[in-house]
Structure 1
């Protein structure tokens, strides 16, 4: 009995609900192809160089060789690894790779830039 009441309620549409109209088109945003992307790519290349230098420096601090001289024998050399320095080096190199990918993307988009008149003539 409750099912019949529910069906009859859903079949009728209340008259006071507004009808949804089509949304207007969103305003045109900035174009992907912008010459200022060269500046962004240059900044990312500088950051990549600095991150690689920092990564190498951290890696060298993370690997320490210790020498223990023993009388009458060869010197015992052991290697100690510091995880915090090695992890920082891995993070810096990973970030440099990600920035490298984005820098290549920025350069490609900057190269593809066409003047506005040429872009309108193609349309």
Structure 2
């Protein structure tokens, strides 16, 4: 307890800034991995018929796209937690201790 009656915040830990950096890097890696997965999930098929007609269709492979969406979700969760950790690393306001507790009453 400080002389001014303020209790030091237990959540304030400057080393949380390192966690922020690691989480942002992991989120960037998740997005970097999601892009090729999404590309694997989109297939273009072209068929030429005997009369010369060209048919083009796009096929979406759900398993690859699900993996890309999952990695995007992981990246979003990591970024939200990194923001929380950054706030806690910078400062958490102290709470005032009631005067009755300071006097021992």
| TM-score, normalised by the number of residues in structure 1 | 0.63
Matched residues in 1 for 2:68 and 2:50: separation? Answer: 37
Are residue 43 (structure 1) and residue 6 (structure 2) matched? no
Aligned alpha-carbon RMSD (Å) = 2.2
Q: Larger C-alpha radius of gyration, 1 or 2?
A: 1
Are residue 102 (structure 1) and residue 73 (structure 2) matched? no
Of 43, 46, 57, the match for 1:67: 46
Aligned to 1:83: 62
- Secondary structure of 2:12's counterpart equals coil
- Closer/same/farther in 2, CA of residues 77 and 33 from structure 1, 3 Å limit: same
Matched residues in 1 for 2:20 and 2:64: separation? Answer: 28
Structure 2: stretches of 5+ with no match in the other structure: 1-8, 98-105
Of stretches 70-79 and 84-93 in structure 1, the one that deviates more from structure 2 is 70-79
Structure 1: stretches of 5+ with no match in the other structure: 1-29
Matched residues in 1 for 2:92 and 2:15: separation? Answer: 10
Q: CA deviation at 1:57?
A: 1.0
| TM-score, normalised by the number of residues in structure 2 | 0.74
- Larger RCO (CA within 8 A; separation ≥ 6): 2
Aligned to 1:53: 32
Matched residues in 2 for 1:74 and 1:110: separation? Answer: 63
Matched residues in 1 for 2:43 and 2:15: separation? Answer: 44
Of stretches 71-80 and 32-41 in structure 1, the one that deviates more from structure 2 is 71-80
